[in-house]
C-alpha cells in the first residue's frame, strides 16, 4: 500500500488507549482551557484521524509562514497550508504549559484535545495578509475562506496535541465518518491495490458518477473511495446528511459490489482552490489512495481561480517528490447529445456548448425546489428524488 506522506506509517493523534484516554479527560478538567475556532477544531480532528501525518500539533507562525511561502515547514517537512490555532484572547491560558482545547461545535463545549504549549505568538497584520494572499490568492473579504481565516484572532498557540474526541462528526455521521486509519484498514481488507479517491461537498449527479467510472477504468483501479466533506460549508450548500443519502443511493444502484466506499471526513471547507487541492491530495495519500481525481475549479468558489489552476499547481508549485499520489486531471464532464453518453468536454472537440446537456447550479436548485427532476441525462432519478424531497421540506 502507498506510504503516508513523509512517514513509513500513519501517526494519528487520537488517544485510543481507554485508560490513557480516561486519565487525560480527568486531567483536562483541571487544566486552563480555551474554546477554539471551528477551523482549528477541524484541524484537530484531521490530526486525530491521521490525515495530517506526520504533523504532531498546531504550527508555529514560522512553520505556517513557511508552508505559505514554499509548502515547507522550518524543518523542511512538506505541508501545503498553515495549520494554526488562532485565538482572539489568550488571557486564560497565558503562562500555561499544558492546556485543554474546547470544541465550539458541540453543546457544552467539551474538551476536544490537550495541548503542550510551545509558544503563544501574536501574528502581525503583515503576516496575516501574506498567508491570506498565498493560500487564497486573494485578500477579498467577500471570499468565504478569507473571511473565516481572518476572523479567528491574532494569537497563534502552537504545540503537540493529544486528541480526545472527533467532535460531532463521529456522533452525527456514524456510518460515514472515517479516520485515515479506518479507511486504510478497509482498503487492505478489500484487497485493493490501486485506489482512486473522489472529493465532494455536493451531491453527485450523473456526470460525477461517470467521471468516477472513467477514472477507475483508465487507471485500472480496484476501487473508488468517495470521500465527502462533513464539516461547515457556505450558506446554501446542501447539508451533509442529504448528500450522504443521495450518494449512497447512487453507489447502491450504479456501482458494482465491492467497487466503491462511501466515507466522509470532519473538516471545514477552505474554498482555497489550488492550495486546497494539494491539501486534498495530501490527506488522500495518507488514507491510502494511490490516485486522486481533480477536475475543473476544484475546491473553488466564485471566480477567484482559473478553471484548471488546481491541476497546474501540482506541476508548478508542489515540491518535486513531496507526494506519491498521482493526480487524475479531469475536464468538465457532461452528457453529449451527439454521442448519447457522458464525456469529458475536451475529448469532444467537434462539439459546441449546445451539444451538451448543461444546467447551472441555480437552475438545478430551481427545478428541485419546484419538485421537478432534472433530465435523466443530468441526474439519476433516484438521486433527484432524494434532493427534491429535501428542497420540498424547506417550504
Domain shared by 192 and 292, yes or no: yes
Whether residue 5 lies inside any domain: the answer is no
State yes or no: pLDDT of 30 exceeds 90: yes
Cβ neighbours for 143, distance < 8 A, ≥ 6 positions apart: 136, 271, 301, 302, 304
Q: Which residues are catalytic?
A: 201-202
Do the beta carbons of residue 44 and residue 92 sit within 8 Å? Answer: no
CA 305: distance to chain centroid? Answer: 18
pLDDT, mean of residues 101-106: 96
Domain shared by 185 and 37, yes or no: no
The pLDDT score that the predictor gives to residue 362 is: 82
Whether residue 2 lies inside any domain: the answer is no
Which of 136, 170, 204 is where one domain is finished?
Answer: 170
Band of pLDDT at residue 36, cut at 50, 70 and 90? very high
List the single range of 119-133, 198-212, 357-371 with lowest mean pLDDT.
357-371
Q: Quote the pTM value.
A: 0.94
Domain shared by 166 and 184, yes or no: no
pLDDT tens digits along 235-268: 777 888 899 999 999 999 999 999 999 999 999 9
Domain shared by 238 and 122, yes or no: no
Domain shared by 215 and 164, yes or no: no
Domain shared by 184 and 164, yes or no: no
Which of 151, 170, 189 is where one domain is finished?
Answer: 170
pLDDT tens digits along 217-235: 999 999 999 999 988 766 7
Domain shared by 116 and 254, yes or no: no
Which of 150, 170, 190 is where one domain is finished?
Answer: 170
The pLDDT score that the predictor gives to residue 189 is: 97
| Distances 250 to 189, 217, 246, 341 between C-alpha atoms, Å | 23, 18, 6, 17
Whether residue 277 lies inside any domain: the answer is yes
Domain shared by 278 and 361, yes or no: yes
CA nearest to 265, candidates 163, 140, 181, 373: 181
Q: What is the CATH number of the domain that holds 94?
A: 3.10.400.10
Domain shared by 302 and 184, yes or no: yes
Domain shared by 282 and 201, yes or no: yes
* Residue 333 or residue 236, greater confidence: 333
Cβ neighbours for 350, distance < 8 A, ≥ 6 positions apart: 338
Whether residue 64 lies inside any domain: the answer is yes
Q: What is the CATH number of the domain that holds 319?
A: 3.40.50.620
Domain shared by 299 and 349, yes or no: yes
State yes or no: pLDDT of 119 exceeds 90: yes
Whether residue 278 lies inside any domain: the answer is yes
The total of structural domains in the chain comes to: 2
Whether residue 57 lies inside any domain: the answer is yes
Domain shared by 51 and 78, yes or no: yes
Whether residue 238 lies inside any domain: the answer is yes
Whether residue 9 lies inside any domain: the answer is no
Which domain does 72 fall in, by range? 18-170
The pLDDT score that the predictor gives to residue 236 is: 72
pLDDT tens digits along 351-391: 999 999 998 878 888 888 889 999 999 999 999 999 999 98
Amino acid at each position: 500500500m502507498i506510504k503516508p506522506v513523509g512517514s513509513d506509517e500513519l501517526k494519528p493523534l487520537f488517544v485510543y488507549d481507554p485508560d490513557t484516554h480516561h486519565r487525560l479527560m480527568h486531567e483536562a478538567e483541571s487544566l486552563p482551557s480555551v474554546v477554539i475556532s471551528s477551523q482549528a477544531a477541524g484541524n484537530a480532528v484531521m490530526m486525530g484521524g491521521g490525515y495530517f501525518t506526520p504533523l504532531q500539533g498546531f504550527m508555529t507562525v514560522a512553520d505556517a509562514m513557511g508552508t505559505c511561502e514554499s509548502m515547507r515547514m522550518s524543518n523542511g517537512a512538506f505541508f501545503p497550508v498553515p495549520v494554526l490555532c488562532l485565538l482572539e484572547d489568550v488571557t486564560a491560558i497565558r503562562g500555561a504549559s499544558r492546556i485543554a482545547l474546547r470544541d465550539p461545535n458541540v453543546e457544552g463545549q467539551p474538551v476536544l484535545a490537550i495541548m503542550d504549549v510551545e509558544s503563544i505568538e501574536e501574528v502581525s497584520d503583515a503576516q496575516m495578509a501574506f498567508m491570506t494572499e498565498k493560500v487564497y490568492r486573494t485578500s477579498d473579504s467577500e471570499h468565504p475562506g478569507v473571511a473565516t481565516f481572518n476572523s479567528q484572532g491574532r494569537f497563534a498557540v502552537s504545540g503537540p496535541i493529544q486528541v480526545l474526541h472527533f467532535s460531532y462528526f463521529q456522533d452525527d455521521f456514524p456510518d460515514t465518518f472515517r479516520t485515515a486509519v479506518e479507511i486504510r484498514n478497509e482498503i487492505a481488507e478489500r484487497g485493493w491495490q490501486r485506489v482512486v479517491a473522489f472529493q465532494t461537498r455536493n451531491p453527485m449527479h450523473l456526470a460525477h458518477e461517470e467521471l468516477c467510472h472513467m477514472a477507475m477504468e483508465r487507471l485500472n483501479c480496484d476501487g473508488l473511495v468517495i470521500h465527502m466533506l462533513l464539516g461547515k460549508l457556505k450558506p446554501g450548500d446542501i447539508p451533509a446528511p442529504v448528500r450522504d443519502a443521495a450518494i449512497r443511493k447512487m453507489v447502491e444502484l450504479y456501482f458494482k459490489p465491492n467497487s466503491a466506499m462511501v466515507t466522509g471526513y470532519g473538516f471545514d471547507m477552505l474554498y482555497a482552490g489550488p492550495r486546497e487541492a494539494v491539501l486534498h491530495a495530501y490527506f488522500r495519500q495518507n488514507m491510502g489512495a494511490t490516485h486522486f481525481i481533480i477536475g475543473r475549479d476544484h475546491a473553488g468558489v466564485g471566480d477567484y481561480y482559473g478553471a484548471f489552476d488546481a491541476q497546474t499547481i501540482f506541476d508548478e508549485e508542489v515540491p518535486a517528490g513531496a507526494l506519491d499520489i498521482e493526480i487524475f486531471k479531469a475536464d468538465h464532464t457532461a452528457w453529449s447529445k451527439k454521442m448519447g453518453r457522458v464525456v469529458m468536454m475536451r475529448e469532444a472537440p467537434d462539439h459546441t456548448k449546445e451539444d451538451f446537456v448543461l444546467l447551472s447550479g441555480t437552475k438545478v436548485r430551481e427545478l428541485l425546489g419546484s419538485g421537478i427532476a432534472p433530465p435523466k441525462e443530468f441526474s439519476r432519478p433516484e438521486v433527484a428524488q432524494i434532493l427534491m424531497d429535501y428542497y420540498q421540506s424547506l417550504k
